[in-house]
Amino acid sequence: MDRKTKELVAQELHEKLKNFDLAVLAHYSGLNVGKLTALRIALRKADTELRVVKNTLLRIASKDTDMSLLQDHFKGPIAIALNRSDVVESAKVLVDFARRNADLVIEAGMLKGKVISRDQLSALAALPSREILLGKLLSVFVGAQTGLVNVLSAIPRSFVQVLDAYRAKKEAA
């Protein structure tokens, strides 16, 4: 790669490193092309981009970004996964793939400007998906409204029951 191409790649990567929600660094040595392609396809479905980048280009591109905090991990053959949407889904894909393939070693990550470890990424992957969390939140809202309707309807219902009991008592007398 000539110098001009390297500058363009570094500039493009710098722009991507300024705007991400989740970035994960992983060593991929030992993965064959088929497995790496399968990982890329799975991550693409989670709206995540996986790039294999030279360490020097990554160092240059990460200047003046949050990723500069991870420069200690820029050693050896490294891949970077960048996500701008559902971080839980991409974390699940990466952690599951790393469990099934020992050649993919997750080093560290960045979650909205904060450094996270491999264990924290695994904890993030264990969270329910966004759709499930939204469904649970919706059920809480519906449950609160149902409870309010039941409480408010209890007063007239009790009043009608008292009137019915009084009527039954008058008819019996």
143-172 average pLDDT score: 87
Residue 111 DSSP SS3: strand
Q: Which pLDDT score, from 0 to 100, does residue 124 have? A: 83
- Do the beta carbons of residue 85 and residue 19 sit within 8 Å? no
Tens-digit pLDDT profile for residues 116-146: 888 888 888 888 877 888 898 898 888 888 8
Q: Which of 11-20, 92-101, 135-144 has the lowest mean pLDDT?
A: 11-20
Same domain, 7 and 91: yes
Q: Which pLDDT score, from 0 to 100, does residue 110 have? A: 87
Same domain, 42 and 66: yes
Number of Cβ within a 10 Å radius of residue 138: 10
Alpha-carbon distance of 107 to 74, in angstroms, equals 10
Q: Which pLDDT score, from 0 to 100, does residue 154 have? A: 85
Domain range for 96 is 3-127
Length of the chain: 173
CB-based burial label for 55 (10 Å; 0-12, 13-18, 19+): middle
- Alpha-helical (H) ranges within the chain are 3-18, 33-45, 55-62, 87-100, 118-125, 130-172
CATH of the domain at 10: 3.30.70.1730
Residue 1 has pLDDT above 80, yes or no: no
- Do the beta carbons of residue 121 and residue 106 sit within 8 Å? yes
Same domain, 81 and 145: no
pTM over 0.75: no
39-57 average pLDDT score: 87
Reported as a pLDDT band with limits 50, 70 and 90, residue 159 is confident
Same domain, 144 and 115: no
Same domain, 103 and 144: no
